[in-house]
Amino acid sequence: MNNLTKARRIAAAAMALMTACAAGITSAQAAPQGDPAPQGEPARYGPGAPGSGDPYFPSAGNGGYDVLHYDLDLRYSPPSDPAVPAGKLTAEATITLRATQNLDALNFDLRGLAVTAVDVDGKDVNHGAGPSDWTQVQDDASRTWELTVGLRPKLKAGQKAAITIDYGGTTGRPEDTTGALYGWVTTADGAMVVSEPDGAPTWYPVNDDPEDKATYSFHITVPEGKTAVANGLPGGKPETKAGWTTWTWEARDPMASYLATASIGDFTLSYGKGPHGLPIINAVDRGVTGPALEKTNAALALQPQMIAFLSDLFGPYPFEAFGAIVDDDSVDYALETQTRPVYSEVADEDTVVHELGHQWFGNSVSPADWKDIWLNEGWATYIQWLWAEHQGKSTVAKQFTDTVADLDSKNLWGLNIADPGRDNLFAEQVYHRGAAALHALRAKIGDQAFFAGAKEWLDRYSNSSATTEDFENVMEEASGRQLDAFFNDWLREGDRPAMP
């Protein structure tokens, strides 16, 4: 068990439940009725599915429930030897959820960390193999990392529960299927936490499905002198006791699991405001110096202008805060972690506006499956083009022409960006062919229909997820035109598409 007392655990579960109810959000707004039984027979119960059904990551995510709120209590010791990337994480997660079917067991994704205790609504669950016990399987070869929790009493469809899990272990530098670092990446001075696509289970038990969005509370305890930065807004002043400081952050907007962060390091925090008083909180590692710091500061100073520009084009900024986490770790990474993107070493102007664009395209409206990622990256890249034109650096038309010429020279038209394959999620074509497709669409249907369709897309699927087919339908509605041939040409077919 962690050091939290049973009373503290029950109180945490109750508070999480209250937070979730107040938020009133779920990825499926109306809970289904569960598994009906023939009239006169008892209701049928079963386990939730151990995967969400994404073809690229079949074991990621879980079925049978919708998470409403994660309350994460993390205690982290960075590496004692900066040359050895091994930290120590001891944690407790209280997960408030609502059953979407009649459940006698459910699963969470958790990778590389060992569970020590589980309770449901304040009642301990035994560790074993019985129907009411919890078990943990970690199979790296099959990328299956499942914590199964038996439920006694069983959970009816529509019922809520708060499940508290104690866990921990040694952190390292996990890799995705391509060998790139992701998840809880241990650094010399702390941790850089960037989880796209399926790295969230490396640091907390989770329903790792972009369609299951939830609110979050973070309580991150680190050695005095270290700074912990997460999504959303501070939940009070940091508290220091006996050489340890606890940082609290509250993310009250629905968020996909891969967008959560709890980065730790030698950060300096700065506070500013964007349009309409939007809080902007930046965390820059003290190891970022010289030209990298100058470039970073210049780019971050443009955040209020960028937010105003994109709000005029696409509607109000969708969340409660914005900002940045700039780490001096040499991972060469940038990720649109919700409200507070993470950058390694430097945040330049193009990357900052790209990650800001993701707050609308990718964070507010997330991909229903990972094959739909071009809707994230194509839009964020196109937003870079729009910003460059706004700044007088280059027209969108020229950037389109240059991109097409580059794709021609590299013979990169062969990839179906609407279904690129698991290990091509971050291929160049997903970004550049995606952006070019959007500009070609704009040329085909006109500015009025294009930007009206973009706004409708964001309004219709705000705080949820959607597919490429959903996007096509919205653009057909906005333009009054049938666009199947266009989208097949620009997204799916392997030949050079017809130029506008």
The predicted pLDDT at position 42 comes to 65
The predicted pLDDT at position 295 comes to 98
The predicted pLDDT at position 142 comes to 85
Q: Where in the chain is the domain with CATH 1.10.390.10?
A: 267-360, 366-492
Please state which architecture CATH assigns to domain 6-265. Sandwich (2.60)
Give the pLDDT band (50/70/90) at residue 331.
confident
The domain 267-360: what is its CATH number? 1.10.390.10
Please state which architecture CATH assigns to domain 366-492. Orthogonal Bundle (1.10)
What's the rounded mean pLDDT across residues 391-417?
98
pLDDT tens sequence across 469-485: 999 999 999 999 999 99
pLDDT tens sequence across 351-363: 999 999 999 999 9
SS (H, E, C) the chain: CCCCCHHHHHHHHHHHHHHHHHHCCCCCCCCCCCCCCCCCCCCCCEECCCCCCCCCCCCCCCCCEEEEEEEEEEEEECCCCCCCCCEEEEEEEEEEEEECCCEEEEEEECCCCEEEEEEECCEEECECCCCCCEEEEEECCCCEEEEEEEEEEEECCCCEEEEEEEEEEEECCCECCCCCECEEEEECCEEEEECCCCCHHHCCCECCCCCCCEEEEEEEEEECCCEEEECCEECCCCEEECCEEEEEEEEEEEECHHHCCEEEECEEEEEEECHHHCEEEEEEECCCCHHHHHHHHHHHHCHHHHHHHHHHHHCCCCCCCEEEEEECCCCCCEECCCCCCEEECCCCHHHHHHHHHHHHECCCEEECCHHHCHHHHHHHHHHHHHHHHHCCCCCHHHHHHHHHHHHHHHCCCCCCCCCCCHHHCCCHHHHHHHHHHHHHHHHHHCHHHHHHHHHHHHHHCCCEEECHHHHHHHHHHHHCCCCHHHHHHHHHCCCCCCCC
Give the pLDDT band (50/70/90) at residue 333.
confident
What is the share, in percent, of the chain residues with pLDDT greater than 90?
Answer: 88
- Of residues 150 and 4, the one with the higher pLDDT is 150
pLDDT tens sequence across 256-299: 999 999 999 999 999 999 999 999 999 999 999 999 999 999 99
Residue 244 has pLDDT above 70, yes or no: yes
pLDDT tens sequence across 367-390: 999 999 999 999 999 999 999 999
pLDDT tens sequence across 162-211: 999 999 999 999 999 999 999 999 999 999 999 999 999 999 999 999 99
